[in-house]
Amino acid sequence: MIAETMLGGSFTLPGTSITLKRMGYGAMQLAGRDGNKLVWGPPRDVGQAIAVLREVVASGVNHIDTADFYGPHVTNEIIRKALHPYPNDLVIVTKISARRGEDGSWIPAFSAEELTAAVHDNLRNLALDVLDVVNLRSMFSVERPVEGSIEAPLTALAELQQQGLVRHIGLSNVTPTQIAEARKIAPIVGVQNLYNLAQRDDDALIADLARDGIAYVPFFPLGGFTPLQSATLSNVAVRLGATPMQVALAWLLQRSPNILVIPGTSSMEHLRENLKASALQLPSEVIADLDSIAGDQ
């Protein structure tokens, strides 16, 4: 088992008894691909996917991020096959408010009826009686947070929480205004947005959430890099004897104590590389070099 210090330490979600290792795992890449349809259908090797998940848990990771619209249903079914009955400390975080079109598109599913169905889909396919954390994903835009009221869907999710189907609520793909709106309706334990070395729009938001003890979970740690930014990261990685992904993950873990990372992979080799990133300590001069990436075009 990888020591806790090699998993970035731990973070307790606000107002809960849930303590997560800061190095988690994202299950999206366990689903397959059908032509241009990404995250669609089963993987080529279900046995390998099951082995990766078991290695995740054996390594001490206790935070798995998923969604029933991955596949759809595929990743949750694989998680159930691999890990059920689940370890007592394992926390499965899922997200709702989208469905998949037959063409593989990501379609908003924001109505109370759709959200209720999504919660029940997650419960059934994960073989759970209650979901630990459900993130409401804003779908005004698939790519980036866009303003728009989330009061109605968040109220519907809060009602499911009151029914005992959901323990805690998080948000995904949201703006600071939407977070403030949501916190008037229900306690929010975490926010999951696009953020990495190159995409730094949420710098101020991360600090604000940290002051309130709310987790921030960045996705796409290497998404949206220009060639110049990638070159800078690669040069730093060579200097440190690490991979670019390891450096990007280590930078996130050192960026703020409320950041939890969820790198995903279907490869055992890449999983082990990613986990080792939590033991990589970046010197201040390296952090300065990496911080400059945001300005490179």
For residues 174 and 192, the answer to whether their CB atoms sit within 8 Å is no
Residue-level pLDDT at 296 = 67
Residue-level pLDDT at 224 = 84
Please tell me the distance from the alpha carbon of residue 251 to that of residue 11, in angstroms, as a whole number: 17
Please tell me the distance from the alpha carbon of residue 12 to that of residue 30, in angstroms, as a whole number: 27
| Residue found by looking up tokens 């309130």 in the block | 212
**Is position 287 within any domain?**
no
**Is position 122 within any domain?**
yes
DSSP symbols for 86-98: PPTT-EEEEEESE
Residue-level pLDDT at 42 = 96
For the chain, what is the domain count? 1
Residue-level pLDDT at 294 = 83
Query: Strand (E) positions, 214-286?
Result: 215-219
**Is position 13 within any domain?**
yes
In terms of residue numbers, what domain contains 15? 4-222+257-263
For residues 46 and 80, the answer to whether their CB atoms sit within 8 Å is no
Catalytic residues: 70
The list of the chain residues with pLDDT below 50 reads: 1-4
**Is position 121 within any domain?**
yes
CATH code (residue 12):
3.20.20.100
pTM of this structure = 0.96
